Structures are given as structure tokens and as C-alpha cells.
Structure 1
Amino acid sequence: MDNLRELIKETTETTETTETIETIETPKRPLELLAPAGSFEAFKAAVENGADAVYLGGKSFSARASAANFDMEELRKAVRYAHQRQVKVYLTVNILIADQEFKELMDYLYAVYETGVDAVILQDLGVAALIQAILPEMETHGSTQMTINNTWGVQHLENLGFRRVVLARETSAAEMKTLAENTPLDLEVFVHGALCICYSGQCLMSSFIGGRSGNRGTCAQPCRMTYQLVGQDRKNLLADKNLGEHLLSPKDLKLVEELAELERIGVYSLKVEGRMKRPEYVATVIRLYRQALDRIEHQQEDSPLLTDEEHQELLQIFNRDFTKGYLKENPGANLMSYSRPNNRGTRLGRVVGLKGGRLALKLEAVIHTGDGIEFWTGRGREGITVGTIWKDGNQHDEGLPGEIVQIEFSAIAHPGDRVFKTNDVKLMEKARESFQEGNEQRKRPLTMVLSGHIGDKMILEVNEGPRRVKVYSANPAQKALKRPLTWEYAYQQLGRLGTTPFWLDQLEVEVDEGLMLPVSDLNEMRRMAVEELLRETTRPTVDRTVYRQRIAVWKDRLEKERSGSETKDVPQVSVAVSDPESLHAALEAGARRVLIGGEHWRSRRGFKMEEIRAGFEICRKEAIDCVWRLPRVLNEAQSLTLLSELKQAAHWTKKPKVMVSNLGELEILHSLDPDWPFETDYSLNVFNEAGLAHFLRLGAQRVTLSPELHHEQLAHLAKWGSIEYLVFGDLEMMVSEYCPVGSTLGGKQGNHCSGACVKERHYLRDRLGYDFPLETDQECRMHLYNVKVLNLYEELPQLKRMGVSNIRLQLTRQSSEQVKRIIRLFLEAWNTQQLGKRTQWTADEGMAELTSMFAQGFTKGHFFRGVL
């Protein structure tokens, strides 16, 4: 028998040597497989099937509010279970937080930190600033809701103290490689599961249609509903194409065969979507991705990481068909699941005939009693659970590929109808077995050396990886009278590790011949060793008194900043326009503050750089406040173009004030000149005082607030001054790399498109008959607008009473004539000294004129109803 004591010593020495080397050269880290968990069952399924980390939500402040989620006791239990198995836990706090929720949030964060959670995932920059101030010991990750997809955005999060960024799903492999080469932050990317059609964090569709906000964790998934693409004459342009009507519903992402490439380009964490999915789904997907990752080091180049049978299991557990998303290119129509928004299942066979309540099927795959199957007929789809299976008149529990079987069926079907398996009972049983109580398999091997002499206390040395513990028996060993200690008996007792995350791999017994130790002493030694191995490495503790002091300092600073920011702003109306003709119309109508630029629509001519410069010159001479408004989304290449344009603008007579729409743009600006004057747009989702203060600290001269705020929240933020609020115009509900017009009408393949979007206006018509306007920008992104125009004209008196002095008209899609009429109406109302006194000012005439321009009607947005 090998001397395990020497093996333990060598292992320890090797570990110490490796640690010395690591100070010189950091070894390549293995990829992290990050699993979702919406319940404790799903959490166990993730851990037991090979996840390196699990992300989950608490009962509060989570972007999957309708999942079961974890209360504080369940969270402590989950963290303990995970850490005992060397698995990390990340908690989602990835929604926008209202000011009235901050007290609860601060209590929650402290409790979360005490549980030992490894990091929190954030969307709200105000919350990020709060954590930096009151709990800097907490590791923070930037959520995909932050819309980070270029090096500048990543650098901004690095400067804010984040340790990781979850990249936008639209980021390509080439862009990921560039990002990895330019940041020390961990890059996390989605590799499997449902896709959002809109850039995450920029979607307001569920919010404005039904009051359920994705930014607040309650998205109702309107992208999975049916729509028709209609033109100016309001006719269905796809009626003859037989595509299906789920025009905003993407396929599911599957990058299992791209894992080696993701590792090569510098991605660290591989994220599986699915906190709303059942535990069996989590178990199956994580098991298969774990197997693929384990094979990477041993597979030959270009050989598949999963077998055909394993790919079939991925399909079977849930799929809307699969896509590689934007990893290589913009896939256009190939991204989409036009025919259905839910699980497709796998091909089972076709109907042969129906007679006497029995349906005959010609099988292309295995069928079992208990399977869920679905028939695709000319009338739609119908699903049943398989009962008895007959073959040649005899009852069976299964049918095999190539066979014709009969099953009970009471509905209508016809020969040739396709049949799909939507639930595989055997696969589900296999998945459930992996996480059943008492069946835990996530265990680590131990090597043990039991040694001692008669008359001395026994010694048990236990080695687990680089860790070694030593424990002693309670009593000295004795001379055996009947049964001396044997290797077999010691192995039997020390190997009883039960539900602990360990198993006994090797044992050496070095004791005097004829030695005896009571079984109770052996068991106690085993218990003490395991307890020591499970003792977590301590991280910095935060005394509750210290924490409260930090909160007091933070509140005091916020109060001082609020007081210092209060201004008696002159009431001002901002006018956002997207082309030179609208700019001239705005100036002619008397606008004293204009926002020019933004997206360049393919349906109309936008601003060229020279026209932006000329616009600033005109405004400067007339003492008109002019701001260059930047696009909402920039990829890596487009950010370099913007950098070049800003370098040009730096040499103008006077640097133009810029309105940034994402964090990358702000970082680009600061890289050129830390004092470059800037404001922030509503797409940065400022929802609370902490977020507002954050941008003011960075130097923002004005901050446009989130359009999802309720009027009571707005009144609180209005105390600060230096804010702007949208009161009229088109509400953009989605921005997407996917273009439904080009993908369905334009013959879009890669970057080639016939340009159908410039020939006429297009709309998406929902099931209720509402037509939502579509615009395509010069980068071929889709921008989807609300059918109803935001209009708070009647609320202008209330806004003034609340202290709001800066309001915005978002007129980026209106004609020049409409621009003039709208501006004059709002200027007259907003600037009148009598506004707010209902006896001397009414909105009737103004509303009548606005109504004559917008037959589709108006919405007050969230001014009164707020968001969930």
C-alpha cells in the first residue's frame, strides 16, 4: 500500500509551490458554468448536475418576480449547500428601485451579505453607488439589463468597482474577444435558453401596454404574442408567405458547440437562462453543458462536444427551435420562431389512421406511456398524455422507431398529420432522480491516514484537494482483547459520510498491531474532520453598527447634494428633433432649447456632422441651448465612429454639449475631456435619487428621468432640479438588432437587404387591432413605438406645482408642420404666468388641436398608474 502520508505531504508542497508561481503567472481558469434557479428544487438540480455557480432571486428586488424565488432562510440554506460543494451563489437585485424602497433594500443587502452570497447582480446604477458607499465588501456584477456591449461600457463598470459584466446578448464573438483583451473584468455571456428580442434594459413594451415592467421584474412577454406586419394601406404584407404571426418571438439560444471558442476568446462565465423553468429543465441542460465542458480538453478540434442523443435531449427538454443568436452575424429571419412562441418538442411521427377511439402512429422516435404528445393539424394543435400503447393488438409500455402503434384518442386527426413529443417521461424521471433528497451525487473525494500507538491518542489526517485537517481521538488507543482495528473496519466507519459533500476515496491505516479504538471515537473523529473541512473561509465581517454609520453618512451626503442641487430653473421646454428640417421648424416656432441628432432613420434624412455643427452655430448666435443627442445603442465598431466624430467636434468653436444615452458614450466622452459638458437621456433608466445623484456627481448638467415614474416619485425627484421629464411624443418601446421588415420582406441575408423599410411606413398590428409604428435606423436596427402618443398637456399645471421646470417634447418622427404646432401649444401653456390656476387656463383648445393631429389617440404613460 502506498504511503498516503507522503502523498498528502507532496500534495500540500505542490500546492504551496503553485501558489508561489501564481504570483508570477496566473494559470488559465476553467470556464464557469452558471445555472439558473427559481426554486430550491431547481437550485439543487443545478448543483447536483455540475453547475459551478447558481444565480437566483430573493423574494424582493428580482427581475423574475413571478418565480418562486428564495426567502432569507432558503437563501441561507442554498448558500450553505452550495459552498459545501464549492459552488458559488449570485443573487439578482437586477431591477430599478424606487426611492421609497431604499430603506427595505438597505436592510435586505445587509442580510444578504450575512448569508455569504458571493455577489449581487445589479441593473440600477443608483443601487451600485449605494453598495459602494455602505457595503463595499460586497462583490457586484453588472446585469445584461445595463445594455453593455462595447469596451467603453465595460470600462465604465470597471471604474465603478464592478467585478463582472453580463454582456448584452447581441454582442458578437469578435466583439467579445476585443472586450476580453481590454478589461480585467470577468465576462459573462448567455449560452442557452430564451432570448429577448429587444436589448435588455431598453424594453418598455410590457410596461406601456400593460403596466408590467421588465425593468421592475414583471415583464408579461408581449414579444411572444401574435402580430401582423402591415404597410401604409394597413394590409397584411405577409398574408401569402405562411411564415406564422409570432413576428417578435425568437428561437432559443444554444451555444453548446461554441464553448471552446468562447473559452479561447476570453469569456469566463457561461450563463444558462431559465429562472422560470422547472427543475427538470435545469437538471438536463446543466448536465449536458457540464459534459460538453468536461470534454473540451480531450476532444479533437471540430469534433462535436455532445452526441446526437444528447443533442436530442436538449431539444426534448424545451425548445422553440435553436439559434446561435448574434454570435457570428445578424441571422435575420433565422433568429425567429415565427410559427409558435412555446415548446416545439421533438418529431415523433405521423398519423396513419383513426378508428374506434384508437389512433395509429408511424413512429420516428421512442414513445412511452406517460409521454406528452401534440398533433399539428390544419385546424391547429392539440396535446394529450399517452396512456396505453398497443402493438399488434397487445398492450405495451413503449413503441420504437419504425413501428406502428395505437394509442387512445378521442379527438379528430387525419392521416399525415404530424405528431411531436413535448414531454418525455423517461427524461423527466432521469432529471428528477439527479436532485432527489438523499440521492445527492455532488461529492468530493477524500484521502485519509489513520495512525497511532497503543496508549496514545489516535490521529486522523484528511486531505481534500489543497486542504488538510488533523484531528485526535477523545481517548487513547487500547490493546485489543477480542477485535483489533482492521483497515476494513476503519474504512467502513470513516467512509460513512452520508449526505455530506464527500466520499472516502483512499485510506491508509498505520497503527500498532492489536490496537483497538471504540467506534464512537472513530465516528467523532470523522465528524470533526468533516466539520473542519466544511468551515468556510471567512470574509470580512461588517458590524451592524458600522453598517448603520455608513448608511447615515450616505444619507447625509445625499441630503447635502439634494440641497445643493436645488435651483430656481427658468421654466424650459426641450424639443428633440432628428433632422435639419425639423430643427428649422422648431426654431421658427420659438424653441429655446433643442436636442438634435439621435437615431438616423432610413425613412428620412438625418443630421450629417456638418449639419450638427451648423445647427450649434445657429443656436449659439441666438442664445438657444443646443444639445447633441446620441443614439441609444452602439456596438464596438459604431463606438469607434462616434469617437472619431467627437474628436472632430472637439475642435469646433465651442465644444458641443452632448446628451449620452448609454454608459459607453459617457466613457468615450470622458476619455476625450473629463470636463466635456453632457446630459443624460431617459434610456439610462434613472429611477431614484441615488441614480440621479450618481450622474450629477459624474458631471451631468441635466438628467432625463425614466418615463416609468409615477407622479409621486417624480415630485420627489423634482426637488433636485437639473432634471428633465418627457411630456409629449412617441414612446419608443423596443430597440432591436432584428429588423422584421428586412427579415420578412427584404430578402435579408447577412448584411444584404432590398431596403423595403424605405419604400413605405410599416406597423406591427397586435391581436386587438392596434398598429404599432416601426422605424429602421441606418444600422438596420428596429425601433418599435407605442401606438398612442404620450401626452401630458393637461397635466402641465400639476407638473409646475410639483416643481418640474424642464419638460421635453420628443418630436423625432413628426412632420415639420406638426413640430411647429406642437411647440407653439406647449410653449404658450408652459410659459404663461397663469398656468396652474384652473380658473384662468384650460387645456381644452390645445387638446382639441393635438387631437386633430393624432387620430390614434394619447396615453398618459405611467404618470398616474406607475409600474408594478
Structure 2
Amino acid sequence: MNELETKNTRPLELLAPAGSYEAFKAAVENGADAVYLGGKSFSARASAANFDSEELKKALCYAHERHVKVYVTVNILVADQEFQELLDYLFALHEIGVDAVILQDVGVSDLIHTILPELETHASTQMTVNTSWGVQHLEKLGFCRAVLARETSAAEMKMIADQTPLELEVFVHGALCIGYSGQCLMSSFIGGRSGNRGTCAQPCRMTYQLVNEEKENLLTQKKPGDHLLSPRDLNLAEELAELKKIGIRSLKVEGRMKRPEYVATVIRLYRQALSRIEDQTEGSPLLTKEEHQELLQVFNRDFTSGYFRDNLGAELMSYSRPNNRGTRLGRVARLDSGRLSLKLEAALHPGDGIEFWTGRGREGVTIGKIWSGETEVTEGLHGETVQIEFFGMAQPGDRVFKTNDALLMEKARVSFQEGREQRKRPLSIRLAGHVGEKLRMDVLESERRVTVYSVGVAQIALKRPLTWDYAFQQLGRLGTTPFWLDKLELDVDEGIMLPVSELNEMRRLAVEELLLVTPRPKVERHEYGQRIERWKQRQAEERAGQQTIRSANPQISVAVSDPETLQAAIQAGAKRVLIGGEHWRSRRGFSLEEIRTSFESCRKLGIDCAWRLPRILNQDQSASLLSDLKKAARWAKKPKLMVSNLGELEIMRAVDADWPFEVDYSLNIFNEASLAYFLRQGAKGVTLSPELHHEQLAHLAKWPGVELLAFGDLEMMVSEYCPVGATLGGKKGQHCAGTCVQEPHFLRDRMRYDFPVETDQECRMHLFNVKILNLYEELGQIKRMGISTIRLQLTRQTPGQVQRIVRLFVEAWDSLNEGKRASWTSEEGMADLASLFPDGFTKGHFFRGVL
């Protein structure tokens, strides 16, 4: 059997979320094969209850007794000052038997591969991997599994699965992020709560207006709804057979912030769908109509298949509301004197939560008593008109939705109730022996067999001989253990007797032996300590070795996006330029030939030049980049590249393993470990994460080739969804009228801040901060840190703006570096910059950092 056949025939893993111990039990008892959860530290859902060390041990024991795996999320960017705590935490996780850790930080993954390779690692969707090239690099980092970006299509999943030995995991149900995970800074820069640090405040669920440069609301006539960045919930329950055929290993349900009843219901329904895959005929559903209704009822913002088939545009979105919409219950028939009549389209029970959608908004109530005419009833059924007590505002014809189903919630709660556990495996027992001998009990569980003997010998019964019924009754008392007695074979002399205490002890010993977990290879603490010291020594030596090649002359780096702004930057005195990057639809960008000629011109002028690659590429776009790089490899001199994701690193190496390159900030370099990793890979320079504060930056400035974003547009998110095309121009690639290029667009939030929207040539939406990042006043402090290079990110500015900004920064930086103006002050330059950007500036995280 070849590798692909193995992937396609092995069982799919159903992976459940757990934000609390109750949710964990709900997942296990309803059929999860594995559960992912977070500890109290280093978790990307910091506001979930999460698990302390004792709860984690308890959960592991419970799961492993039931052959369920536990994966712990360590999927945030880790600051240097947190590494000692992280090292202790990782050892503790390995010691208690965690099956794998889920990681975002490249430095942390390299660290684990070096000091604790015994610990299995999974690459989080926060690593923004959506191509076979990216997965290829994850293999080199030592990962066993890749969690693909939610934007990966079925066709792309298959291409990736066909080319990697790694297990692939995909999200199949739950909330969707509108932007690429790991690339979103919106919550971080608006409120200081970083998604990369586990504290996202979900600003995408807030209300926005789409406005133009004159600040007119462009959707006043269409009125799609105000939640322009709020997606529907993902639901791939009917695509499970195809996912298996593709070669996906694990099906991930989102929801560590959800209540246990949600976890219980969704996992139960997905388990039922999985059990039907083999018997499914083409075109037949995996879930019944009633089961689909339960999925809707437990929580939905309406459902979508996401990007599995295509980019759905507006059909991806839940414009009207960002939270649970429930299921259609019926309409208001009439309202009089505290009683409201409902014409039902679904069942209604006391305890249900319902919501009225009125012309004035929405109003929710919990159902008390229900009447049919003057008779109190225990339920109302489809087609009936019933009455409930109601003192709010409603009108005949108002729609009514059920947001909470009391019976469904009770059904879910019972499934994980203490003492009602149902996740059990069958045992087959053979009890045999003769009078005067010890009885032998063979217990078979799946492929495992244990044998135990009675302490005393069997005797002739004086009153009650041992019967099959009696033996089954005693040996079947397995209580809260994960077993139930399925078969019993009794092969003993007739009339034999063994005390009940002996039978119970034999049962106890057998269960105890069955529950023994094969110990994994232990890493002794002193050996772990030695590994850590070697790792620290290597990092210190690398840092010291790099010091010898530190650039003597700090530089200003200017990122531009077309030939006109490149010329403006050079004329203003730029000695280092970054060309390319995203190709905005609002301007012409660089052609491949213009990149070639720009490099030649810069080389003649003694200007350092790098070709910035886009931060997101799909599988087809990766093939296009590979073709371009093959052409560039034939130029007189290969251009230096600036890679923006892990896949580009592999595409570049496929052409030339020694191609000179730098690393952009989109790779989230947040600590020394990740910085050292990329330098070890051969990077000539690294741009640091814009989420670092000045103390962290000063620490990382000890390394050479460090670049800092000091001025320019801060990109909040990048998304396959385009709000302009989806609302004004139809579906992407189908009916889009190119509205985005006709005039500038902005998303206006509830505070009346206008966030600029740019669309690239692949129709991805890039959302920018209202305020420009500006560290001009901090140049003296940055100089004292020893930062090698500061970057001006001027990819959306006009040639005139570029020229003025570059000239101001070059003059100030030269003055600081050459000591010509020891008393340099920033007032005059700041006034000039303020005249260019009336919406004001932000210092980003330079002083405040992130949570």
C-alpha cells in the first residue's frame, strides 16, 4: 500500500475543542478522537477558562483511559522574558504525557525540536501555511502535522496532501476569522489585545460602513447589514467523505470559547456523520434533516462552506448579526393583554429561549408557560398556534427565532454528566478452573489481553454454586471505568464456588492492568537541563559571531510599490529600497522586467535593493512566483529577495539553495529564537514584528541585520474576502465590476474612524490602520538601541509624499549617526509630516507593547 492509499483509508480524527473541564468531558463522551485545549499560559484563547496543571493531569488520565489524545495549545508568539517559564512548561507537558503541542512561533518550534524532540509538534493555523511549499518547510522544522489556513480550497488541500508525509488538519466547523490567521493586527493596534498573543478582542464582529473619500455611505440603498467583516460559521459536515478522499487526517471543530453543550452537540453530530461515510451513496446526506437542525440550533451565524469550493463573496458573510441567530420558530399572530400568540413552524417547550425580530430591533425572552387556547400544554408543535406570557413590544407578522432549545441542551448535558459516562469499550472475559485450583480469568479488550488469578482456590459450593448469571453480574460491575462487559465464557467445574470478594478483586486487578499506559521514553530533568544549556550556548555563540559582521552604517530602508515612487525615494537620498510586495489594483506596480531594470539601476547607483515578495500566495500563485524566479535566476545578477512567508523560502531554494534573502515582518519575528532561526537559514536581514515594545527591541538589536518599521502604513489584516466587491460588485471572479479601482474606499467603525481598504491583483482585501505609524520623534532612542535599519513603509503614498518623507528621515538619521547635530530635535520634521497626514499618527506598540 502506498502512502496516499494509507492516508485515504485510515480513519479520520475528530478533533474537539475544550475551554474547560466540562467541555473536555463533553467532547470525549460524545465521540472525539482527540481534544485540543490550553493551559493557563501560552494559549491563543487566553480568555477561556483553560486548564491548570491538576486539571490537565486529570484530563489526560481520563482521555488516555478512553484512547483519546490530548493536544495542548502553545500557539502564541513568546517574548524573550517568558522563555524560562516556557521551558519549564514544555517539560511538564511532556512529563505528564501530552500527545502533542500546537505551535505558532517559529523560534519555539525550533527550540522544541532541539531540546525536546520527543514532544510531538503540530503547526498552528496561526503559521499561515496554505501551500505545499509552506508545508515542506514545516517538515524541516520537525512538525508532524500542519493545520492548514482556513482559506485553503479542496483542490489545494489535495495538491498539498499528495506532496507531503505530514498529517494535515483542517477546520470543519465553527467560527471563521475574516483575515488570515497569524497576519491580523487589527485587535492589536486598535486596543492592544493581540490575536498573536491570544487576546483578540474580535473587532471584526463590530459594525462598519463602507464609505468613499467623500465619506458617503455606499451601502445606504443596498442595506446588506452593518457587520461587514463578520463571517458566517463554517460547516463542512457534508464534505467529510471528500476530505477523507483528499487525504486529510484530522477534522478540527472550533470552539474553545463555547459552552460544553455546544461541544457535546457538535461532536455527537459529526461523529454520527463520520459513522455513515462508508455506507453513503453518492448525493445522499450524511446528516438527517433533524440533525442538521440541531447543528443550526446549538449555535449558528448562518452556515457557509467557507473557501472549500470557491470564494463565496457576500455568501460567506453574516452581515445582519455577529452572534447566534438561532432557528426559525414562526411568526407573531397577535398580542393582547400580556399574552402573545405564535404561529409555530417548529416545536416550542418551556425553558426555550426565543427572539423577536421587530422593526425596532430584537428582543429576547425565555419561555415560561405555554397555552393552547385556555389549556396549559407542555409543548407547542409545528403548525399550531400557541400563547405565551409576554409584556414586550411586538407586532403581528414579526419573525420569531428560537435561540436556545431547552431539550437539546438537556440532552447535551446528560451526555457528560458525572456518573453517566458512556464512552466505554467492550470486554470479553473467560473464567476457567477446577475445584482445588486458583481460577484463571482472561480478559480481552480489542487486541489486548490480560490474565489474572484468584488468590484462593475454588471449592465445592455448599449453598450457591457459581453460575454464568452470577459471574456476569459481578464481573460486569465496571462502574465509572471505560469498560463494559460484552461477553463472558464460563469454563469451570459444575458446583464450584468462589467468594464474591475474590471475583471483585480479580475484576479490579484486570481493569487496573488494562488501564496501564505504555510509558513513553522519559527525559530526565538533569538531561533536559543540559540540553537547554547547550541550546543557550549555541544561541550566545551565534549572537557573538554575528556581532563581527554588524553593519557599521545604520540605514534607512524605503519600501515602495511602483517605479514612480522608487524614483522619488532615490531622488530624496534613499540608499536602500524594497521594491515589489503586494501589487495594488489602484496602481500599476512593478512588472518583472521593471524589477530587473530597477535592480540594475540601483546597483549602478550603489543602492542596496531587495525584491519584496507578497505575504500571501496560494498554490497557483506560488507556481507563478516559481516561474518568475527561474527567469530572474538567469539575470546578470540574481536580485536579493525579501520573503514574507515560509513557502516563499522553499520556492526560492527550489531555484537556488544559496539565493540571498531577507525576512519580512509578516513572519512574526518576536524573540531571539526566531531571529536566530532565520539567520541560521541564511537570512541577511530580518524585519522584526511591529508588536514589540522598545525594551524588547533593544534586546533584539544586539543581533545584526535587524530592521524596524519606523514609519508608514500598518496593515491590519489581509483577507480573501473583499467587502467592496462583495457588496458593490458581486462575487469575486464572477460578477465583480472592478469597483475598487474607481475610487478609494474605507471601512468606517462605530467611532467614525475610517480604515483604508486596498485590493491587490488577486482581489485580496488589505485593511490599513487609520493612523500612520510614526517613530520620527523616537529616532534618537532607536539610534541608541543599535538597530541596523529603520524602514519607511511607503507602499501607498504618492511620489511627492515619498520624496518629502524620505528626505526628512534621511536628514534626521544622518544627523544622529554622524553627530553633526547633537542637539537634533524633531519639532520641525513632525510639523512637516503632520501636514501630509491630517488623520494623525500612532507610535504603535513602541511604548505600550501587547498583552
* Fold in common (TM above 0.5): yes
- Give the Cα–Cα distance (whole angstroms) in 1 for the partners of residues 13 and 817 of structure 2: 63
TM-superposed deviation, 1:515: 1.6
2:141 maps to what in 1?
Answer: 160
| 2:600 maps to 1:617 | yes
Question: What is the TM-score with the length of structure 2 in the denominator?
Answer: 0.98
Counterpart position of 2:416: 435
How much does 1:563 deviate? 1.2
Q: Which of residues 12, 32, 42 in structure 2 aligns to 1:31?
A: 12
Partner in structure 2 of residue 371 of structure 1:
352
Q: 1:21 to 1:862 in 2, by over 3 A?
A: closer
Residue of structure 1 aligned with 2:181, choices 196, 200, 203: 200
- Out of 693, 697, 702, the position equivalent to 2:680 is 697
From 527, 542, 546, the equivalent of 2:508 is: 527
Alignment equivalent of 2:444, drawn from 457, 463, 477: 463
Equivalent residue number for residue 434 of structure 2: 453
- 1:750, CA displacement in angstroms? 4.4
CA 614–37 in structure 1, closer or farther in 2 if over 3 Å, else same: same
1:45 and 1:282 in contact (8 A); partners too = yes
Letter in 2 for 1:726: L
Describe the SS at the equivalent of 1:107: helix
Output the amino acid matched with 1:654.
Answer: K
Shift of 1:540: 1.0
Say whether the 8 Å CA contact 2:780–2:816 is kept in structure 1.
no
Structure 1 residue 28: Cα displacement: 2.2
Tell me the equivalent position of 1:8.
none
**In structure 2, the residue corresponding to 1:584 is in which secondary structure?**
helix
2:439 matches 1:488? no
Query: What does the per-residue CA deviation read over 1:631-675, in whole Å, with 9 as the maximum and x for residues that have no partner?
Result: 000000000000000000111111110000000000111122111
Of stretches 528-537 and 640-649 in structure 1, the one that deviates more from structure 2 is 528-537
SS of equivalent to 1:349: strand
**Alignment correspondent of 2:849:** 866
Cα distance, 1:569 vs. partner? 3.4
CA contact (8 A) 1:800 1:836 kept: no
Aligned position for 2:698: 715
The answer as to 2:229 corresponding to 1:248 is yes
- 1:805 CA displacement: 2.6
**2:745 corresponds to 1:775:** no
Query: Matched residues in 2 for 1:838 and 1:457: separation?
Result: 98
Structure 1 residue 599 and structure 2 residue 599: aligned?
no
Q: Distance in 2 between matches of 1:641 and 1:358?
A: 66
Matched to 1:33, the amino acid is: L
Show the counterpart of 1:13.
Answer: none
Q: Deviations over 1:273-309 (max 9, x none)?
A: 0000000000000000000000111121211111111
Structure 2 CA distance for aligned equivalents of residues 450 and 831 of structure 1: 90
| 1:164 and 1:186 in contact (8 A); partners too | yes
Match of 1:335 among 316, 323, 326: 316
Provide the C-alpha distance between the structure 1 equivalents of 2:462 and 2:294, rounded to a whole number of angstroms. Answer: 59
- Shift of the alpha carbon at 1:27? 8.5
**Which residue of structure 2 lines up, in the alignment, with residue 182 of structure 1?**
163
CA distance in 1, matches of 2:480, 2:552: 66
Map of 1:7 onto structure 2: none
In structure 2, the residue matched to 1:140 is 121
User: Residue 45 of structure 2: SS of its match in structure 1?
Assistant: coil
Where 1:720 maps in the other structure, the secondary structure is coil
Q: Per the alignment, in what secondary structure is the counterpart of residue 701 of structure 2? A: helix
Offset of 1:330 from its aligned partner? 0.4
* Secondary structure of 1:398 counterpart: coil
The CA distance in 2 between the partners of 1:61 and 1:701, in whole Å, is 30
| Corresponding residue for residue 217 of structure 1 | 198
> Are residue 669 (structure 1) and residue 643 (structure 2) matched?
no
Match of 2:546 among 553, 559, 565: 565
Structure 2 residue 33 is matched with structure 1 residue 70? no
Secondary structure at 1:768's aligned position in 2?
coil
Q: Is the contact between residue 748 and residue 754 of structure 1 (CA under 8 Å) also seen in structure 2?
A: no
Give unpaired runs (5+ residues) of structure 2.
Answer: none
In structure 2, what is the Cα distance between the partners aligned to 1:850 and 1:174?
48
Q: Could you tell me whether the CA contact under 8 Å between 2:638 and 2:659 is conserved in 1?
A: yes
Counterpart residue type for residue 299 of structure 1? Q
Kept in 1, the 8 Å contact 2:428–2:443? The answer is yes
The within-5 A match list for 1:745-784 is 745-748=728-731, 750-784=733-767
How far, CA to CA, are the matches of 1:833 and 1:682 in structure 2? Answer: 25
Amino acid at match of 1:626: C
Residue pairs, 1:213-362, within 5 angstroms: 213-362=194-343
Asked if structure 1 preserves the Cα contact closer than 8 Å seen for 2:783 and 2:816, the reply is no
Question: Structure 1's 116 and 641: CA in aligned 2 closer, same or farther, altered over 3 A?
Answer: same
Change (3 A) 1:569 1:532: farther
Q: Counterpart of 1:854?
A: 837
**Which residue of structure 2 aligns with residue 4 of structure 1?**
none
Q: Provide the identity percentage.
A: 74
The code of the aligned residue for 2:210 comes to L
**Corresponding residue number in structure 2 for 1:418:** 399
Note the C-alpha offset of 1:521. Answer: 1.2
Q: Separation in 1 of the partners of 2:388 and 2:751?
A: 39
1:89 pairs with one of 70, 74, 77: 70
Q: Kindly tell me: are residues 836 and 690 of structure 1, through their superposed partners in 2, closer, same or farther at Cα, counting changes over 3 Å? A: farther
Q: How far apart are the structure 2 equivalents of 1:239 and 1:21? A: 58
Give distance in 1, aligned partners of 2:486 and 2:567: 80
- In the alignment, the residues of structure 2 paired with residue 682 and residue 619 of structure 1 have an alpha-carbon distance, to the nearest angstrom, of 23
Call closer, same or farther: CA 1:21–1:535 in 2, change over 3 Å. farther
**254-263 or 824-833: which moved more?**
824-833
Shift of 1:838: 9.2
* CA deviation map 1:683-738 (0-9, x unaligned): 00000000000000000000100000011111100011211000000000000000
Q: Is the Cα contact below 8 Å between 2:8 and 2:246 reproduced in 1?
A: no
- Aligned residue among 627, 642, 649 for 1:644: 627
Aligned equivalent of 2:724: 741
Residues 834, 840 of structure 1: 8 Å contact kept: no
Return closer, same or farther for 1:838/1:767 CA change in 2, 3 Å cut-off.
farther
- Return the alpha-carbon distance in structure 2 between the equivalents of residues 223 and 636 of structure 1: 27
Residues 170, 372 of structure 1: alpha-carbon distance in 2 compared, 3 angstrom cutoff: same
| 4+ residue runs over 3 A deviation | 24-27, 749-752, 833-839
The answer to whether the Cα contact below 8 Å between 1:321 and 1:344 also exists between their aligned partners in 2 is yes
Distance (Å, rounded) in 2 between the aligned partners of 1:132 and 1:306: 41
What is the DSSP-based 3-state SS (H/G/I as helix, E as strand, rest coil) of the residue aligned with 2:702? helix
Q: Matches of 1:246 and 1:833 in 2, distance apart?
A: 47
What is the Cα deviation at residue 476 of structure 1?
1.6
Which residue does 1:14 correspond to in 2? none
State how far apart, in whole Å, the 2-side matches of 1:305 and 1:815 are: 55
Shift of 1:749: 5.3
Q: Which letter does structure 2 place at the counterpart of 1:244?
A: G
Aligned counterparts of 1:419 and 1:455: Cα–Cα separation in 2:
75
* Offset from partner CA, 1:404-427 (integer Å, 9 cap, x none): 111111111111111100000000
Q: Is contact 1:835–1:841 with CA below 8 Å preserved after alignment?
A: no
Partner Cα separation in structure 1 for residue 37 and residue 505 of structure 2: 36
1:820 corresponds to which of 781, 785, 803: 803
Partners of 1:735 and 1:782 within 8 A in 2: yes
Structure 2: which amino acid aligns with 1:177?
A: K
Residue 494 to residue 298, structure 1, CA distance change in 2 (3 Å): same
CA distance in 1, matches of 2:545, 2:406: 65
1:840 corresponding residue in structure 2: 823
Alignment partners' CA distance in 2, 1:602 and 1:382? 43
Deviation at 1:489, TM superposition (A): 1.1
Selected match of 2:565 from 574, 578, 582? 582
Q: Is the 8 Å Cα contact of residues 347 and 379 (structure 2) preserved in structure 1?
A: yes
Shift of 1:622: 1.1
- Give me the whole-angstrom Cα distance separating, in 2, the residues matched to 1:678 and 1:501: 55
Deviation at 1:26, TM superposition (A): 8.5
